[in-house]
Amino acid sequence: MNYPNALRYFANCFLLLIPVLVFNLVFMHQLPSAYQMDVFWKGIPKAVGIPENVMRILVMVLPVFMRLRISTPSQQLGFGLYTAGLLVYFASWTVLIVSPQSAWSASAIGFMAPAFTPILWLAGIGMIGDEFQTSQVPFKWWMYWIVSACFLFFHILHTGLVYARAT
């Protein structure tokens, strides 16, 4: 068995999703009540919820097949965008947790920030994972951007519906 060749499959872009998933799991119960699952998903039309979840699955599964390398200038720029995006995303949650009654948290932009700030770190992942682990499957970085954009469209729409209901 060729271990170095086999180990390269573990160096995939899913590793970049781990900080997001861990952060979400650790802090999701500290978010205001409108973000709790039973409230957040209540009354969301299937025409929004189903495509949002299908796209969410694709956004999470595709990185498993995307090679993680930070060697080209584009990948380095993508890593910078990813890192900045994580910081902005984490900050958007932190404000909602620490100061849920603030003017920012009560505003549409503040309330919806955790839904639209992932555009930064998702774009970064797309730039970093510019090819699949196997060359037999054609893949370009913009394909991940399209899937991410579709997910974000439905996720932002969903969050907007929750905000409209909460105000």
pLDDT tens per residue, range 62-90: 999 898 989 999 999 999 999 999 999 99
Torsion angle of alpha carbons 52, 16, 86, 150, nearest 10°?
A: -20
Q: Does 49 score more than 90 pLDDT?
A: yes
Report the candidate in 112, 119, 113, 118 with the shortest Cα–Cα distance to residue 160.
112
Q: Is residue 109 part of a domain?
A: yes
HSE-CB of 103 using CA atoms within 13 angstroms: 0
pLDDT in tens, 124-156: 999 999 878 776 777 777 889 999 999 999 999
Q: Is residue 39 part of a domain?
A: no
Which pLDDT belongs to residue 2? 44
Q: Is residue 33 part of a domain?
A: no
Judged by average pLDDT, the poorest of 17-21, 59-63, 142-146 is 142-146
User: Cα-flanking dihedrals φ and ψ of residue 12, to 5°?
Assistant: -120, 170
pTM strictly above 0.75: yes
Q: Is residue 41 part of a domain?
A: no
- Quickly list DSSP for 116-142: HTHHHHHHHHHHH--SBSSTTS---HH
Q: Is residue 154 part of a domain?
A: yes
Report the candidate in 33, 22, 5, 14 with the shortest Cα–Cα distance to residue 144.
14
Which pLDDT belongs to residue 6? 60
Q: Is residue 66 part of a domain?
A: yes
Amino acid present at 44 = I
Which pLDDT belongs to residue 88? 98
Task: Calculate the average pLDDT of the chain.
Answer: 92
Residue 39, judged by CB atoms within 10 A of its CB (0-12, 13-18, 19+), counts as: middle
Domain that includes residue 123, residue range: 51-166
User: Cα-flanking dihedrals φ and ψ of residue 66, to 5°?
Assistant: -95, 125
Q: Is residue 102 part of a domain?
A: yes
pLDDT in tens, 31-48: 999 999 999 999 999 999
Confidence of residue 3 (pLDDT cuts 50, 70, 90): very low
Token digits for 93?
Answer: 């949650």
CB atoms within 10 A of CB 148: 22
Q: Is residue 10 part of a domain?
A: no
- Look at the chain and report how many structural domains it folds into: 1
Token digits for 80?
Answer: 């910078």
Q: What number of residues does the chain have?
A: 167
CB atoms within 10 A of CB 110: 18
Amino acid present at 148 = S
